[in-house]
Structure 1
Amino acid sequence: MNKKIWIAGILAATLVTCQVSRQNGSKSDMLRTTDASVSAIPAFTDNPSPTHLTPEQSIKTFKLPKGYHLELVASEPMIHEPVAIAWDGNARMYVAELNTYMQDVEGTDEHAPTSRVMLLEDTNNDGKMDKSSVFIDKMLLPRMLLCVGNELLVNETDTYNVYSYKDNNKDGVADEKRPVYTPDKKAPGNLEHQRSGLDWNVDNWIYMAVDAVRFRYTNGVLKPDSIPSGSSGQWGLTHDNYGRLYFSSAGGETPALGFQINPIYGRMEFADQYKEEFNEVWPIIKTPDVEGGLKRLRPDTTLNHFTASCGQVVFRGDKLPVDLQGDLLISEPVGRLIRRAKVTNKNGKITLENAYQKEEFIASTDMNFRAVNMYTGPDGCLYIVDMNRGIIQEGNWTGPKSYLRPQIKRLGLDKNIQHGRIYRLVHDGMAPGPKPKMLDESSQRLVAYLGHPNGWWRDNAQKELVVRNDQSVVPLLKAIATGESNEAIKSPSALARLHALWTLEGLNALDQSTIARALKDSDFEIRKAAVRMTEPYLKKNDAMIETLAALKADPVADVRMQLIFSLGTSESPKARALAGDIVKHANGAEVLARAQRSVEKNEDAKKFGMKLGRLDGPDRTLVMNGSVIYKSLCATCHGADGKGLTSKTAPPLNGSRRLNRNNTQASVRILLHGLSGPIEGNSYPTEMPSMKDNDDEWIASVLSYVRHEFTNSPPVRPADVKTIREQTASRDKAYTLDELSIQ
């Protein structure tokens, strides 16, 4: 049967199914792991079957801690290839589907506009979705969702544009589309390396992974703000109760990064923010389909390291055990597992540690279990989005000569497509919470939810209040922010006070008096947030600097670190002096010194651009001087972009192995003494001449520029050139590639 016809048939059948308004459902037919099914899972499955499992079969494949259970919320034919979800204020669930993602090992027709966003509802409050509709059809791989009021913001693959969709006649299908951010530029890279997120954070900024931009939702549109030192991560983004962001990078095999400071202040990572052993993962089945090949496998053929970390979430719900709240969960879909990390704040430095010894929080023996996103739900439980498919790598890594392709074909994983599951994690004796009705409630009622024990309710009440821009609640918010007993919250908790402050900020109703009181709050997270809220005043004049000086000896390092970051937004010498004084009197505190360094590097990024700004001053000088030399001398043969000329006068340098970080010896020798003969199978009319008559700094400058610009490799120091010059002083002819050891 023709493959395109077959897939079209599946989608058509699904569409018919989705038009059925309800399916019979009761609590008794909810698929759920049982103590018996969990106990029956062996510690290790030596020969897992790649065969696609039905939901009834797959639910029996999970290993979880005692007391925890997974319940099936939705599955095929209601959804297919789910990758992201979002709830509106009334707990209607929107599901982004990548219906053309890797439908075969070649990725055929992957960019056909036939994907969609589904709208799911649980009409009888049993936790299982029983009503569905195609909310948006004919999309190009939708990847980011965000609900704002009665609208859904959506970004598709290959574009930066974001559109708002709205269902005016309440039939479950979007009938209004309007632009909210339209730079109308094509987004580069394959779909794995494009943005994700649209996370409305506690600070009212909307963050993304990958792209160096954040947004403010204002008057129905997204207003962009650049992040000078760049963003982080790849697929997935989450924040904790206080707005700390957590990224991850599958391509970099980095399970967690960017969580020390807000990216708007720069970058700050610590080598010991988690131990090397944290990178090890512990599947319960063999995992032969690993893009990294044999180096990523143990002798028993299990995945030995994070290689596809994604979809992370800081759990903030109230219907799972208290010791899970605040933990960071990270999915590893290649290993068919979910990591649970304990998050610890040690004098301002955040550290992560696996909650278990050589095992994971959740693991499955279903080879098609592919969790790609996780969320705290409106009911206070954890939600897991499982693409439930065979191939989980983009076509760039499944080519004819790849390690993966023969594994995929041998196991038949390419045949497991067009499925999908959404689970929720529950716990014995803890009933999921009630369904919210925020879109139908008054603003005064929403204010009361700012103190809700479930972070989802606090976040969405704040977001809805900001979107409504209802100024009538400002007096009530100020009372909560200052801890006064009031009609909405009798005794405002620290989290209620924090959300009230940020809601005031989002309503442009935050005044200096309220900030001043917050700076004296007993909770350090509120003092820290209040410091950040002084930034608009710091940029205008010096009056606020004296107020902040009272906090320079705050007992909590997090507050002093925020002082350094916020003072760095002011150009006043007094602000810089105060920041320096804080570091000086910190008794050599590593975190505060690093914070000050991050501010300086961030300033460099603003001045010189993200790439140059990350370099230290001396290295940046080498690169900038080398740029002048290259463009006036070398570009005439190698091309201004390093890609060579059409006349093929000299070999291209862009991406050349000769210039990468492993080949410093070779590149310095070439520049000192020249290069002759064929280069990568091509002959050129002239040989590369010797440049040894120039001094060490000249040689280092040129090499630093071409390495920085064309291979993203670190600069070469003059001292390195001096050493190699002395070692090769007797050389009187050009090198050939055969003489150089190039990796």
Structure 2
Amino acid sequence: MSYKSFFLLTIISGLLSYSCKPKTFDEPQISLDKYQIEEGFNIEVVASEPFIEAPVAMDFDNQGRMWVVEMKGYMRNLSGAGDDEPNGTISILEDLDNDGITDHAKVFIDSLVLPRAIAHVYGGLLYAEPPNLWFVNIDNDKPLNKVLVDSLYSEGGNVEHQPNGLMMHIDNWIYNAKSYFRYQRKEGNWIKEPTTFRGQWGISKDNFGRLYYNTNSVQLLGDYMLPNTLIKNKFYKPKTGLNNVLTPDQRVYPLHPTSVNRGYVKGVLDKDSLLINVTSACGPLIYRGNQFPKAFKENAFVCVPEANIVKRNILTFEADKVSGSQAKANVEFLAATEEGFRPVNLNNGPDGNLYIVDMHRGVIQDRAFMTPYMRDALAKKKLDTLIGKGRILKVARNNNSEYKPIDLSGLEIKELVSLLENQNGWLRDRAQQVLIHENDESAISLLKVLLFTSDNEIAQIHALHTLNGLDALKFKDLEKVLTNGSSVKTQCHGLVLSGQFASEDTFASFKNILERLSKENHPEIDLYMLSSLDKWFQVDAKSLFPLIYEVSSRYKEKPLYQEALVSSLGNVETEYLNYIREKELDDYLLNELLNEVIVNRENKKQNSIYTRKKGGTDSRTSGYRIYRNLCATCHGVEGEGVESLAPPLVQSEYISGSSERLALVLLHGLSGPVHVDGKVYDFNITMPGLVNNPDFTDKDVLDVMKYLKSAFAGEWEEMDVEKLKSLRELKPENGSVFTEKELKEIIK
């Protein structure tokens, strides 16, 4: 053998020997000594820097891998400079040695500006990069066939107040927080339609299908009913069943004093400088896994990043109400003394455990709302230097068995159908969507067997909506669901889905079903019966009036039931009101609601979610643009206000009154409570002023004043720059923001 041949053989042998060695990886070791979690649980860092930076949202793919949205450009310094740089990414995290810890990461999409949400749907990835919503197919972990779903997904607005969430729901619609719209793809076409505006950052659901969200000062808000069941009447805006405060107690129990944006305001911190109530609640999650004890089933977890905690609330469900309360008095589920711990989102996992998206950023308050007090506190602690980090934490029970990911893409149809009975909500949800995407006809018979034979009501509901998603649900299927003793909750969903089958041919049978259901006198079935008749009223309204009045009369003193009926009545409100009058029936609340709708219809005044017109006609002015980007995120595009976040500007004395007072509020801010049109608003929120914000000039302030006056008051009292400059120097007593009382003393 020649020397050259021997040399080559030696090299090849060495390479073969090396390739047979087990792979070893450098996995960061991160201490969690500063974290305290509820007894019986443990936390583990399953992903961290250098594999991710500034994560704000995540999702799991069908193989159980984590995909993470990295908002790297957000507040890298106290001035917020550089937030328009295209440095955001969506990355795939991998665990190649199967020890449960991320050891590799690869970028799926890069060069994004402040990306904020993702969802694995329809065999691809939906992602939000304001102002756009995109969908891409996935080919060998690479994006393919990029499609613009919505160019107005986020119509301007501050980064803290833009749509996010992208949660595929059991009804096969994709819902968002901070948005008026929901999305769905049918036969390759994207559909966008109105829905109720919900929350600020993060959205979740329970097993039945109600939606949950929050604002920065209210840890948990939610709907009492399934989505879009109360907004069918375009001329009525529900007041009872949507955007309800589920946790009246907003107390938090941090382990240490933290930097809070308005810590100088009386009542924000206690005598030990500990935060009293939430000021940046986000990322709510209803736990739907199968690894926690029974008492934790459908508990509501909430992120509170400014206090370095994750809260736990126990939910109580009634037919027409949901309420929440602190799980353990005076203590949080998870709390840390590490101020870099910034939980911003929560996820149910394929393994049935809970996952925490920890942005791990020193500065989480956007520059547009940052007070000088906060800026000084952050600088003193050098928190502005805490960048380049990020964590994903897993919460599991002690001694939890090791999880082996299920590859849903490799399962047979019968295996996917069987997963609809699984106790883990993540697996049920994803199995439903894979079945719909696969569109295999062999699933239909299996789904119907599950629907009619399973004693698992949640599995029945999934089967019902999977059939509907496959366009395989028939009226005879609903007849069977509504008459064969299916569970109450399954029947409620059956009623919601029934309208698509409304016709003269099916009317008599459906009316018989309603008559039988009404005799059961079940509050939950009655509620969904009243809310689900809009299409049936179009077939033969008058024959249903006696039955419907009998049902609604059981709940004369309950506004939600009357609103459900008004939602259904559509354009037959006048006929129904005449029916009540002819029978000399006394129903004051319903009469009042019907009269309101009739007047709204005559005046062509629709629920604003159906109009979405520009706030006023002057859409080209600087003032309008500033309003849309800065103010509308809290006060609404049309000045209607946002539930639990900010009062309306329409008919507000702050707009129609003194221009000097309005200027003082815009410049220096305002803390509650405040009175608007005879109603008190006290959201425990302080509106920040623009006086210290270098991005807004005197001209900008005057422009937005002019827009506010012209759009919401109809007149404009001129003010010059010199007057505005003098008002800049008129400081509040506390050196920060005005109170309503103080403004009244200044402006008589």
TM-score, normalising length: structure 1: 0.72
1:412 is aligned, of 356, 360, 382, to 382
Alpha-carbon distance in structure 2 between the residues aligned to 1:601 and 1:336? 47
Contact 2:342–2:359 (Cα < 8 Å) also in 1: yes
Worse-superposed segment, 323-332 or 592-601: 592-601
Residue 533 (structure 1) aligns with: 497
The CA deviation at 1:325 is 1.4
2:531 is aligned, of 557, 565, 583, to 565
Alpha-carbon distance in structure 2 between the residues aligned to 1:563 and 1:284? 48
Contact 2:55–2:71 (Cα < 8 Å) also in 1: yes
Alpha-carbon distance in structure 2 between the residues aligned to 1:291 and 1:679? 21
The CA deviation at 1:182 is 3.6
> In the alignment, does 2:469 pair up with 1:506?
yes
The CA deviation at 1:180 is 5.1
Alpha-carbon distance in structure 1 between the residues aligned to 2:365 and 2:595? 33
Alpha-carbon distance in structure 2 between the residues aligned to 1:547 and 1:182? 41
Alpha-carbon distance in structure 1 between the residues aligned to 2:654 and 2:152? 45
Contact 2:154–2:163 (Cα < 8 Å) also in 1: no
Contact 1:426–1:432 (Cα < 8 Å) also in 2: no
Alpha-carbon distance in structure 1 between the residues aligned to 2:137 and 2:172? 21
> In the alignment, does 2:543 pair up with 1:580?
no
Alpha-carbon distance in structure 1 between the residues aligned to 2:208 and 2:457? 10
> In the alignment, does 2:186 pair up with 1:231?
no
- Report how many residues are paired: 594
> In the alignment, does 2:248 pair up with 1:282?
no
Contact 1:666–1:742 (Cα < 8 Å) also in 2: no
2:184 is aligned, of 216, 230, 233, to 216
Letter in 2 for 1:537: F
1:143 is aligned, of 116, 119, 125, to 116
Contact 1:538–1:545 (Cα < 8 Å) also in 2: no
Higher RCO (C-alpha 8 Å, min separation 6): 2
Contact 1:391–1:414 (Cα < 8 Å) also in 2: yes
Q: Secondary structure at the match of 1:532?
A: helix
Q: Secondary structure at the match of 2:249?
A: helix
Letter in 2 for 1:337: I
Residues 639/614 of structure 1: CA separation in 2 closer, same or farther (3 Å cut): farther
**CA distances 1:548-591 after superposition (whole Å, capped 9, x unpaired):** 23222444322211111111454432456544331113364454
After TM superposition, list the pairs within 5 Å mapping 1:94-173 onto structure 2.
94-148=67-121, 150-156=123-129, 158-166=130-138, 168=139, 170=140, 172=141
Letter in 2 for 1:441: L
After TM superposition, list the pairs within 5 Å mapping 1:100-499 onto structure 2.
100-148=73-121, 150-156=123-129, 158-166=130-138, 168=139, 170=140, 172=141, 174-179=142-147, 181-183=149-151, 187-227=155-195, 230-250=196-216, 253-264=217-228, 265-266=230-231, 267-269=238-240, 278-291=249-262, 293-295=264-266, 296-398=268-370, 402-483=372-453, 493-499=456-462
The CA deviation at 1:129 is 1.6
Alpha-carbon distance in structure 2 between the residues aligned to 1:567 and 1:742? 53
Contact 1:199–1:238 (Cα < 8 Å) also in 2: yes
Residue 718 (structure 2) aligns with: none
After TM superposition, list the pairs within 5 Å mapping 1:643-722 onto structure 2.
664=653, 709-710=711-712
The CA deviation at 1:477 is 0.7
Residues 585/133 of structure 1: CA separation in 2 closer, same or farther (3 Å cut): same
**CA distances 1:94-151 after superposition (whole Å, capped 9, x unpaired):** 1000010001111111021111011012234332122211111111222121112542
Worse-superposed segment, 464-473 or 210-219: 210-219
Alpha-carbon distance in structure 2 between the residues aligned to 1:666 and 1:530? 47
Q: Secondary structure at the match of 1:417?
A: coil
Alpha-carbon distance in structure 1 between the residues aligned to 2:662 and 2:260? 36
Residue 552 (structure 1) aligns with: 518
Q: Secondary structure at the match of 2:532?
A: helix
Residues 111/552 of structure 1: CA separation in 2 closer, same or farther (3 Å cut): farther
Residues 503/164 of structure 1: CA separation in 2 closer, same or farther (3 Å cut): same
TM-score, normalising length: structure 2: 0.72
Residue 50 (structure 1) aligns with: none
**CA distances 1:185-235 after superposition (whole Å, capped 9, x unpaired):** 7621011111111111111111111221111222344311222xx321111
**CA distances 1:509-554 after superposition (whole Å, capped 9, x unpaired):** 0011211121133421111111111021237774434422322244
Residue 607 (structure 1) aligns with: none
Give unmatched runs, 5+ long, in structure 2.
1-21, 232-237, 574-592, 606-615, 624-637, 640-647, 665-706, 715-742
Q: Secondary structure at the match of 2:192?
A: strand
Contact 1:268–1:595 (Cα < 8 Å) also in 2: no
Residues 584/742 of structure 1: CA separation in 2 closer, same or farther (3 Å cut): farther
Contact 1:319–1:433 (Cα < 8 Å) also in 2: no
Contact 1:88–1:150 (Cα < 8 Å) also in 2: no
Alpha-carbon distance in structure 2 between the residues aligned to 1:438 and 1:411? 47
Alpha-carbon distance in structure 1 between the residues aligned to 2:24 and 2:264? 46
Residues 615/475 of structure 1: CA separation in 2 closer, same or farther (3 Å cut): same
Q: Secondary structure at the match of 1:153?
A: strand
The CA deviation at 1:449 is 0.8
Contact 1:494–1:526 (Cα < 8 Å) also in 2: yes
Alpha-carbon distance in structure 2 between the residues aligned to 1:422 and 1:280? 26
Residues 643/438 of structure 1: CA separation in 2 closer, same or farther (3 Å cut): closer
The CA deviation at 1:288 is 3.1
Residues 204/97 of structure 1: CA separation in 2 closer, same or farther (3 Å cut): same
Q: Secondary structure at the match of 1:207?
A: strand
The CA deviation at 1:299 is 2.1
Worse-superposed segment, 206-215 or 255-264: 255-264
Contact 1:477–1:500 (Cα < 8 Å) also in 2: yes
Residue 40 (structure 1) aligns with: none
Residue 72 (structure 1) aligns with: 45
Residue 488 (structure 2) aligns with: 524
Alpha-carbon distance in structure 1 between the residues aligned to 2:271 and 2:602? 46
The CA deviation at 1:345 is 1.4
Residues 588/191 of structure 1: CA separation in 2 closer, same or farther (3 Å cut): same
Contact 1:114–1:137 (Cα < 8 Å) also in 2: yes
Letter in 2 for 1:446: L
Contact 1:181–1:221 (Cα < 8 Å) also in 2: no
Percent identity for Structure 1 against Structure 2:
27
Alpha-carbon distance in structure 2 between the residues aligned to 1:516 and 1:576? 21
